[in-house]
Amino acid sequence: MEILGANLNNPTVKRELKPAIVSCFGDIASVLGENFQPYMQVVMQICTELTSLAPTDNTYESIDYVNSVKEAVLDCYVGVVSSLSSQPEALYTILGPVFRLIEQIAGDVELATNESTARSAVGLLGDIAAMYPDGQLKEFYSQEWITWFIKKTRSNTTFSQQTKDAARWARDRQKRQIA
């Protein structure tokens, strides 16, 4: 973990490797499960900083890099959430940044129409809602953008049935939160 973190801050490491490193944090979290907690704060700080990354210019390369970073952070969040699935109280403190990233993805035409990104994002919305079955996250799930994004993903004619099913499941979980 220390080596991965050091490589993120190392200016000699190619920037194209940085999204892969961030994504690795999520893979490590999935494998470690509850044992990932000692690393959670540092990883969440890194992810929060990276979600504020903006393109340095309007070139395709710059925009593509920022989108790659956001997709990697989303992958990391998926791993972190899965690692804490039996400990929703530990996850509660990091939900703000997770929802902010998903909102950024929902508002970005390129990211929201990328099938794997949209499927991961709506799946994550469903996973989080399922961890809090008593509607503890009603304030989050009542936001209009969540309903819009889930419906948009579910109705996208270019998406596979698997993605549409993930969106349908997320919508069901959202309804349980706001009921």
Contact 103, 121 (CB under 8 A): no
Residues 6+ apart with CB under 8 A from 15: 65
pLDDT of residue 2: 86
Check pLDDT > 90 for residue 1: no
DSSP 83-110: HTTT-HHHHHTTHHHHHHHHHHHHH-HH
Task: Name the pTM for this structure.
Answer: 0.94
Q: What digits encode the pLDDT tens for the residues 119-156?
A: 999 999 999 999 998 999 999 999 999 999 999 999 99
159: confidence class by pLDDT, cuts 50, 70, 90: very high
Mean pLDDT across 82-96:
90
pLDDT of residue 179: 86
The pLDDT mean for the chain works out to: 95
Mean pLDDT across 5-32:
93
Q: What digits encode the pLDDT tens for the residues 24-35?
A: 999 999 999 999
Mean pLDDT across 10-26:
93
104: confidence class by pLDDT, cuts 50, 70, 90: very high
Q: What digits encode the pLDDT tens for the residues 45-86?
A: 999 999 999 999 989 999 999 999 999 999 999 999 999 988
Contact 125, 102 (CB under 8 A): yes
pLDDT of residue 93: 85
pLDDT of residue 5: 86
How many CB atoms within 10 Å of residue 60?
8
Mean pLDDT across 100-106:
97
Tell me the C-alpha distance between 124 and 150, whole Å.
11
Mean pLDDT across 109-121:
97
